[in-house]
Amino acid sequence: MPSRFCLAPLAGYTNWALRLTVRELGGLGLATSDLVNARALLGKSPKTRELIRTSPDDIPLAIQIYGSELPWVTDAAQYLVAQGYRHLDINMGCPVNKVVKTGGGSALMCDTTGKTVELVRAIVESVPVPVTVKMRLGWDEKNLSAPFFAREFEQVGAAAVIIHGRTRQQGFSGSVDRAGIRAVVEAVQKIPVVGNGDIITLADAERMLRETGCTAIAIGRGALLNPWIFRQLLAWENTGQPGDPPTYFERIDFLETHVRRLIELWGEYRGCTNFRKVGNWYAKVLKPGREIQKKLVMLDSWESLVGIVDTLRAKGPPAGWRAGDAPSIAVPSGPIDKW
């Protein structure tokens, strides 16, 4: 891996187009695909297959599968390896009902009687590539099963575990429990533990590494806000300094490349409509004024995008511009039983 700073999967966002555009900035270690349903993958669902689209320069990449039934998951694992993928990740963190009701995602963290561990063992033994597991701290605060599972998964051959420091019950609320991640680090003998959750700044990253003792970190929402964070972290690790922040013009180049690749991935219409959900994010960062903001969130063609970036470059940054804080990305909210 080029670094120990990983991109956490954000389904619908961290597709090939975004991954490659982030990789080009430097410093990114491992990236992971959207979660894919093992059964749907084997059923040759075209939509599912799209989720695993990649290219030879999009490495290292883990393909993340979810499911709870054998032999679907092992068959899916073997299918992926036969297609040339070189790293598999198992989702045990997803809290949404669509996934949990299949027995997959964070529901797997409820079964400490052996089935979940056997599932991981079966996957590890079915393929000759590294298999990792991404999980939460447990189902709820009374069932913090992550240390138990991490220890067991290590015994059956998992290559690493990635821990989002919240329970399923918490959803995305509250803040990350770094002591909970530390308990996982202490539970394993030698496999790497990747700490995840709420890393937005370099200081957050430093705190995650220091307080948990984790080997590596994964950044999701913070990387959408600042795709340069991996490069900055690597520079900081090597020199003590993160280097200059991206300029306004570099941000525009990033926007243009991102959209170009989304169109390459899905064609002009779908590429543009997929972009719309991050249109506001770019608008908050670039502060281009209302009219361009509207065009970004309603983007409908490459021609329109070219017009936007030409205008932004010609105008230059608004007076006193600095890439603002914090556009957040939508997470499910409300009662978790309804997710």
Ligand X SMILES: Cc1cc2nc3c(=O)[nH]c(=O)nc-3n(C[C@H](O)[C@H](O)[C@H](O)COP(=O)(O)O)c2cc1C
**Given candidates 3, 6, 9, 61, which one binds ligand X under the rule CB under 6 A?**
9
Is the preceding peptide bond at 147 cis, omega within 30 degrees of 0? no
Q: Spot the catalytic one: 94, 110, 214, 272.
A: 94
Task: Tell me whether residue 35 or residue 124 sits nearer to ligand X (CB atom).
Answer: 35
Backbone angles phi, psi at 133, to 5 degrees: -130, 130
Q: Is 6 an annotated catalytic residue? A: no
Backbone angles phi, psi at 193, to 5 degrees: -110, 130
Task: Tell me whether residue 173 or residue 238 sits nearer to ligand X (CB atom).
Answer: 173
Look-up of token digits 């680090």 = 185
Backbone angles phi, psi at 160, to 5 degrees: -170, 160
By CB under 6 A, is residue 35 in contact with ligand X?
A: yes
By CB under 6 A, is residue 131 in contact with ligand X?
A: no
The nearest distance, CB 218 to ligand X, in angstroms, is 7
By CB under 6 A, is residue 220 in contact with ligand X?
A: yes
Look-up of token digits 């995305």 = 172
By CB under 6 A, is residue 4 in contact with ligand X?
A: no
What is the rounded CA–CA span in Å between residue 132 and residue 156?
Answer: 11
Residues 278-317, mask of contacts with ligand X (x by CB under 6 A): ----------------------------------------
* DSSP percent split of the chain into helix, strand, coil, nearest 5: 50, 15, 40
Look-up of token digits 């499910």 = 332
Residues 174-213, mask of contacts with ligand X (x by CB under 6 A): ----------------------xxxx--------------
**Given candidates 87, 121, 134, 261, which one binds ligand X under the rule CB under 6 A?**
134
By CB under 6 A, is residue 221 in contact with ligand X?
A: yes
Confirm if 142 and 99 have CB atoms less than 8 A apart.
no
Look-up of token digits 């949990």 = 100
**Residue 257's closest CA among 21, 7, 12?**
21
- Within 83-102, the residues that bind ligand X by CB under 6 A are 91, 93-94
The residues near 135 (Cβ < 8 Å, ≥ 6 apart) are 92, 93, 106, 108, 109, 146, 149, 150, 161, 162, 163, 164
**Given candidates 2, 11, 250, 309, which one binds ligand X under the rule CB under 6 A?**
11
Please give the positions annotated as active site.
Answer: 94
| Residue ranges binding ligand X (CB under 6 A) | 8-11, 34-35, 64, 91, 93-94, 134, 164, 196-199, 219-222, 329, 331
